Amino acid sequence: MPNTVLVGSQWGDEGKGKIIDVLTEDVDMVVRFQGGNNAGHTVEIGQDKYVLHLIPSGILRENQVCIMGNGLVIDPLSLLSEIDELMADDIDVTGRLFISDRAHVVFPYHRALDGASEDRKAEGEKIGTTKRGIGPTYGDKIARVGLRMADLISPSFPEVISGRIDDANLILKAMGADLVDKDEIIAEYTKAAERLAPFVVDTIPMISEAIKNGKSILMEGAQGAMLDIDFGTYPFVTSSNTTVAGACSGTGMPPSAIDRVVGIVKAYTTRVGEGPMPTELSDEVGETLGRVGNEFGATTGRPRRCGWFDAVVVKYSCMINGYDYLVITKLDVMDSLETIKICVAYECDGKIYDTIPADIGIMERCVPQYEEMPGWCEPTTEIDNYDDLPEKAKAYVARLCELVGSELGILSVGPKRASTLRVKI
């Protein structure tokens, strides 16, 4: 398979975990490039269900090499419990999981600052973060006061972190939040460092070597384009580049080595957390999508907001990412709907928008402009050939691709590996 980047094209949870697992069969290396344990990537294999937060979803395939790139923010304790859970399920990660020495580390004070900052915000201003410390860790990275995996496993770690904890406690105190305990952090994280040290390497030459040797690399995005720090619905976003540029800055892979960009979308729209979502439904259809789609956050368990497919969003994310192919998931969730709507533009203050306005106030007031299509009202999960789909389902999928301006690569009609119709990829 050519070197491929798979990125979420909506507000996350598009089914990246499932599709990465499917595509891993054809590659030599799977690489995560940004985000942290705010992500929750689900893979269902037979009766088993795995939710990966930090480790690439390719790890579930035997002997697959997996890399956590420099663009990630890594909570060492969360990573260790993920490794332990996999080991308990007889999935051995030793010798095939590699962590970049340049990836930044999430500490308890980052989580405390994330929580304190959210708690202080008024209703309407809260971002609805996962409270995993993601924003404060990326903030420290940009402010040049972060610690990286190389620092965590260095003998000078206790010295270096000491000043950082003092600084964080000054801020926490000013915010009226509980302080973090320095001795506890140093003891606990020194222990974690010992366990993680064998996995920590310079991943840049590894990736470069793989490219030189013609190996096939699959890049696993986290979150989605609308949560991108630059392109998303700012400030209701995450703190990293979830779009294709993040695959280069988060791994050291040169853009010229990327052969193919694949965008993944749900056949409808979901969002967890706060911020504008023009097609959100608070009616029976929204309830049906949430119930049939089992739309609860894989990390926080929060119910996901559900609504119609927003083609303005996906066309915009295609502009930024340049999709060669589109993967559409969860078509089966719409099997019972008699009529289906697609948002093709927004209206706000008498003006029509066919792309995402930067002004969050405008985005919040946008009224979706819909076109309607008939539903197919037949089950699709058992179908294993694209041509055998109901004609109305094919027409819906074709219309989505036409509106986005991209070709269909894969259609997913259920959470399991078998419910995957590989059309072009």
Minimum distance from residue 304 beta carbon to Mg ion (Å) = 9
| Interface with ligand IMO (CB under 6 A), residue from 130, 137, 269, 321 | 130
329 binds, among ligand IMO, Mg ion, ligand GDP, none (CB under 5 to 8 A by kind): ligand GDP
> Is position 132 an interface residue for ligand IMO (rule: CB under 6 A)?
yes
**Which lies closer to Mg ion via its Cβ, residue 29 or residue 298?**
298
139 binds ligand IMO (CB under 6 A): no
Work out how close the CB of 49 gets to ligand GDP at its nearest, in angstroms, rounded to a whole number. Answer: 7
CB distance 76 to 105 below 8 Å: yes
Give one DSSP letter per residue of 264-280, joined into a string: EEESSEEE-SSS--TTB
Q: Is 128 in the site for ligand IMO (CB under 6 A)?
A: yes
Active site residue 13: yes
Least Å distance, CB 322 to ligand IMO, is 20
Q: Is residue 13 at the binding interface for ligand GDP, with CB under 6 A as the rule?
A: yes
Q: State yes or no: is 228 an active-site residue.
A: no
Q: Kindly give the residue spans of alpha helices, DSSP state H, lying in 105-222.
A: 108-120, 134-142, 149-152, 157-174, 182-196, 203-212
| CA neighbor of 333 nearest in space, from 413, 392, 398, 401 | 413
250 touches ligand IMO (CB under 6 A): no
Residue 213 CB-half CA count within 13 A: 10
> CB under 5 to 8 A by kind: which of ligand IMO, Mg ion, ligand GDP, none does 332 bind?
ligand GDP
The footprint of Mg ion on residues 298-317 (CB under 5 A) is 298
Among 99, 298, 320, 410, binds ligand GDP (CB under 6 A): 298
CB of 68 to ligand GDP, least distance (A): 16
Residue 86: count of CB within 10 angstroms of its CB: 18
Please tell me whether residue 357 binds ligand IMO under the rule CB under 6 A: no
CB of 91 to ligand IMO, least distance (A): 20
Phi first, then psi: what are they for 8, rounded to 5°? -70, 140
Strand duo 367-374 + 351-353: pairing: unpaired
- Dist. CA 406–CA 234, nearest whole Å: 26
Query: Under the criterion CB under 6 A, does residue 13 sit at the interface with ligand IMO?
Result: yes
Chain centre distance of CA 390: 31
DSSP string over 38-62: T--EEEEETTEEEEESSS-GGGGST
Pick 51 or 373: Cβ nearer ligand IMO: 51
Tokens of 182: 């320095």
What are the residue numbers of the active site?
Answer: 13, 41
Using CB under 6 A, list all residues that contact ligand GDP.
8, 12-18, 40-42, 44, 298, 329-330, 332-333, 412-415, 419
